[in-house]
Structure 1
Amino acid sequence: MKRFYVALAVTVVAAVVGLASPAYANQDNPKAASSAANLSGLHDFDFFVGEWHAHHRKLKERLAGSHDWVEFDGNLSMRKLMGGWANEDESIFNVPGGVYRGVTLRAYDGVTGQWAIWWLDSRMPFAPLDPPVKGHFVNGVGVFYSDDTLGGKPVKVRFTWSNISPTTAHWEQAFSGDDGKTWETNWTTDFTRAP
């Protein structure tokens, strides 16, 4: 099963980078990346390569005024793809009542200097991928945004990476139902590098 997710991750990232980047005309006529490519953020996720333990806190309901959190642990394994222009990680979530997996796909755009991030969930592996969050790091903090829907209503999504060190990292997800005026954090994860 893991090979399926890795193969799918590589296929999706390769297709997205090939289609989304002006550096490549099409699959029949690939062009080498320009020497003038914006490489300023190409190594932003290098800190995350390897094996990690994760402690998750997740709101039971999103944008519903909930203050009930569920906490659980997990593991994550991350590796670079395509010479560092993409990467993927596989997470194992030990949620109350069971276990599931997910794959994060990331690809770097050398024109905009931004990363795009997609999520693939083992509970619905054939569902269309959500719109990617896009963004970059500034002074050690990475912020990424997208527009999505929740319960049929438009929402803005924000990922934030912070508190990064050789052995720790913090990630959180927040939603806004009012076009970014206010944000509700609905998931946080503290990572500790596995020995």
Structure 2
Amino acid sequence: MSETVKAGSTVRDFDFWMGSWTARNRRLRERLAGSDEWEEFDSTSRAWPILDGMGNEDDLHTDFQGGFVGMSLRFFDPETRLWSIYWADSRRSGLLDPPVIGGFEDGVGVFEGDDTFEGRPIRVRFIWSRTDTSTPRWEQAFSEDGGDTWETNWIADFTRVPDAT
């Protein structure tokens, strides 16, 4: 486990995320290619608890690049006090990506895991920040050198949608 991955989370860490959201997304046009061109698009998300609160699920909907639907599954391990986060989307036939694992410290969540990108081994990192506000941020970064350097390639700034009730 990377030293940036924290083992001190609680099952309540993602309570801030439950509900409905809109997001402004910025994503690098080309990843791990030295690009500094960003694409921007909007999305909506909705999150809810599963497994009697030991996990949660969300979905993401966007019209970007012809439209796609994505989903995250998060599971809390009370023994290790770590979260595992899995991603899948409709562009990839519903395959689950390998998990990123980590936790929260001082309201910031850091989650890392091994994956591949275009056939190359990489390290993936998700960071959740501003979790104590109505505008949390999620970031994704890739590393080709085992986590020594990172390229942030996707940033989503969320705004809570007020309940319709």
TM-score, scaled relative to structure 2: 0.90
Structure 2: runs of 5+ lacking an equivalent? 1-6
Moved over 6 A (4+): none
The letter for the 2-side match of 1:102 is: G
2:3 corresponds in structure 1 to none
2:52 maps to: 83
Which residue pairs with 1:116 in the alignment? 84
| Structure (1 or 2) with the greater helix fraction | 1
**Alpha-carbon offset, residue 98 of structure 1:** 2.1
Shift of 1:165: 2.8
Aligned pairs for 1:21-36 within 5 A: none
SS at the partner of 2:136? strand
**Equivalenced residues, count:** 156
- Give the number of the structure whose residues are more often strand, by fraction: 2
Query: Contact 1:117–1:132 at 8 Å: present in 2 too?
Result: yes
Q: Distance in 1 between matches of 2:94 and 2:26?
A: 26
Q: Give 2:38's aligned residue.
A: 69
Q: Residues 59 and 113 of structure 1: is their aligned pair in 2 closer, same or farther, counting only changes over 3 Å?
A: same
Q: Secondary structure at the match of 1:168?
A: coil
* Cα RMSD for the two superposed structures: 1.5
Q: What per-residue deviation string (whole Å, max 9, x for no partner) do you get for residues 31-82 of structure 1?
A: xxxxxxx995100000000000111000011110001110000100000011
Identity across aligned pairs (percent)?
A: 50
Match of 2:104 in 1: 137
Identify which of 61, 66, 85 aligns with 1:92. 61
Q: Residue 73 of structure 2 corresponds to which residue in structure 1?
A: 105
Distance 2:92 2:119 in 1: 18
Unaligned runs of 5+ in 1: 1-37
TM-score normalized by structure 1? 0.76
Distance 1:51 1:79 in 2: 9
Larger relative contact order (Cα-Cα within 8 Å, sequence gap ≥ 6): 2
Alpha-carbon distance in structure 2 between the residues aligned to 1:142 and 1:40: 9
Show the counterpart of 1:160.
127
Distance (Å, rounded) in 1 between the aligned partners of 2:144 and 2:9: 32
Is this contact kept in 1: 2:9–2:82, CA < 8 A? no
Report the equivalent of 1:186: 153
Q: Map Cα deviations across residues 82-106 of structure 1 (whole Å, 9 max, x no partner).
A: 11101000110221x4221111100
